[in-house]
């Protein structure tokens, strides 16, 4: 799809329409410097050169006597190859050097420290050490106050509300992660995404050759309302054998917070219209996951061309919508809409 031929005219909250030309999507839209700045790294400890089994046994004895494990005990549980925390089965060579089960396969059953054959020796003492530890979430520097037993920590971190977000830009495989304020700046500065303030929108999408439909995102727009940020996606893709157009909204925050908001989308012309109303999905859900679940306003091409009018050789779609916040009624216990003025 030639994105240079797509025009978007947008107006927000009663403002006059501005003529906008959408920026072509490129795989290298994110600069390497931005990617580096956006990466969030957990605290990291130095890599041990090897772990004698005797050291692990000493740590077990200390734990049994009620002595708090030292920082060196945490280092014992770091794989010297990948530097990730080790979980059972923890392997060791005849000289006592340990590594995780994943890296045992990567090093072709040879100890990376002494080059001895690893065999199938497990470091049961070190696994026992892990059972006695309680560690903070690796996102504690981002605000998570939780402390977990060693073997429960990994499960929590996969769902931690303080974990960083992936960039919601769908036009390229952007690897930048960060908190919401950083991602908003990243979208504006690096991806050149249009930013709007307000809870209503009015977009006109124009394409000169609507029969050219590929799996490509046409446009991403970010809206700031109720002190939150929302991503409006509009794109064309193949649904089976049929080309379709789709618009949907994502919330820049966690799923629980996204449930506090609702939105509606409408497209139409010639006395007909299609409407969609729903809850925005969190950007924790990838763009592809939302699109493939069909959770949004889907417009078949023949209907889109009918709404475009004329000789149906040019796509002209006007999509309007609004976002509102659901408020809990303390007396009835039901949600009532709070419309943005």
Q: Domain check: are 60 and 195 in the same one?
A: no
Higher-pLDDT residue of 147 and 33 is 147
Between 93 and 210, residue with greater pLDDT:
93
249 pLDDT above the threshold of 60: yes
| Pair 189, 334 in one domain | yes
Does the residue 44 lie in any domain? no
CB count in 10 Å sphere of residue 181: 10
- 74 and 10 in a single domain? The answer is no
DSSP-assigned beta bridge partners for residue 144: none
Specify whether 59 is located in the same domain as 24: no
Range with the largest mean pLDDT of 7-16, 47-56, 190-199: 190-199
Number of domains in the chain: 2
Structural domain ending residue among the three candidates 132, 151, 183: 132
Whether 240 maps to a domain, the answer reads yes
Q: DSSP letters along 58-109, please?
A: HHHHHHHTTPPPPHHHHHHTB-TTT-SBP-SSPEE-TT--EE-HHHHHHTTT
Tell whether 189 and 323 lie within a shared domain. yes
17 with 91, same domain? no
pLDDT value of position 305: 83
Residue 270 CA to residue 308 CA, distance in Å, equals: 9
**Residue-wise pLDDT tens digits, 204-243:** 887 776 666 554 556 889 999 999 999 999 888 888 777 8
196 and 304, same domain (yes or no):
yes
Q: Which of these three, 79, 113, 132, is where a domain ends? A: 132
Range of the domain at 77: 53-132
The closest of 52, 122, 43 to 89, measured between CA atoms, is: 122
Q: Do 80 and 124 share a domain, yes or no? A: yes
Higher pLDDT, residue 90 or 270: 90
Question: Comparing 61 with 278, which gets the higher pLDDT?
Answer: 278
| Residue 224 and residue 85 share a domain | no
Whether pLDDT at 70 is above 60: no
The pLDDT score that the predictor gives to residue 316 is: 82
Q: Is residue 278 part of a domain?
A: yes
What's the pLDDT score for residue 3?
A: 41
Residue 274 lies in a domain: yes
CATH (domain of 97): 3.30.40.10
Is 140 part of any domain? no
H helix runs in the chain, sequence order: 32-38, 53-64, 71-76, 101-106, 124-132, 150-159, 180-189, 255-258, 287-292, 301-308
Question: Which tens digit of pLDDT belongs to each residue from 279-321?
Answer: 999 999 988 899 889 999 999 888 888 888 766 677 788 899 9
Give a three-class secondary structure readout of 263-274: EEEEEEECCEEE
Q: What are phi and psi of 135, to 5 degrees?
A: -125, 150
**Is residue 115 located within the same domain as residue 241?**
no
Residue 188 sits in the same domain as residue 258: yes
* 65 is a domain residue: yes
Q: What is the mean pLDDT of residues 112-121?
A: 88
């Amino acid at each position: 799809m030639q994105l240079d031929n797509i025009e978007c005219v947008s107006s927000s909250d009663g403002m006059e329409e501005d003529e906008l030309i959408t920026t072509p999507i490129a795989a290298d839209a994110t600069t390497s410097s931005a990617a580096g700045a956006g990466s969030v790294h957990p605290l990291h400890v130095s890599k041990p050169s090897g772990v004698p089994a005797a050291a692990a046994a000493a740590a077990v004895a200390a734990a049994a006597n009620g002595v708090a494990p030292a920082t060196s005990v945490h280092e014992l549980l770091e794989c010297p190859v990948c530097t990730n925390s080790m979980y059972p089965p923890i392997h060791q060579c005849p000289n006592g050097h340990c590594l995780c089960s994943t890296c045992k396969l990567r090093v072709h059953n040879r100890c990376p420290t002494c080059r001895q054959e690893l065999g199938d020796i497990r470091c049961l003492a070190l696994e026992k050490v892990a059972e006695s530890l309680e560690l903070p979430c690796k996102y504690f520097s981002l605000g998570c106050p939780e402390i977990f037993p060693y073997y429960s920590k990994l499960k929590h971190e996969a769902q931690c509300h303080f974990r960083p977000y992936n960039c919601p830009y769908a036009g390229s495989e952007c690897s930048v992660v960060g908190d919401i304020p950083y991602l908003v700046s990243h979208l504006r500065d690096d991806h050149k995404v249009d930013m709007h303030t307000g809870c209503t929108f009015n977009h006109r999408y124009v394409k000169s050759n609507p029969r050219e439909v590929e799996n490509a995102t046409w446009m991403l727009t970010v809206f700031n309302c109720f002190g939150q940020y929302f991503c409006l996606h509009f794109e064309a893709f193949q649904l089976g054998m049929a080309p379709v157009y789709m618009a949907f909204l994502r919330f820049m925050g966690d799923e629980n917070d996204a449930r506090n908001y609702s939105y509606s989308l409408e497209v139409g012309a010639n006395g007909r219209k299609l409407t969609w109303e729903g809850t925005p999905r969190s950007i924790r859900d990838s763009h592809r996951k939302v699109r493939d679940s069909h959770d949004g306003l889907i417009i078949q091409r023949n209907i889109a061309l009918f709404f475009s009018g004329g000789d149906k050789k040019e796509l002209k779609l006007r999509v309007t919508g609004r976002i509102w916040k659901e408020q809990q009624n303390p007396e009835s216990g039901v949600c009532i809409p709070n419309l943005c003025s």
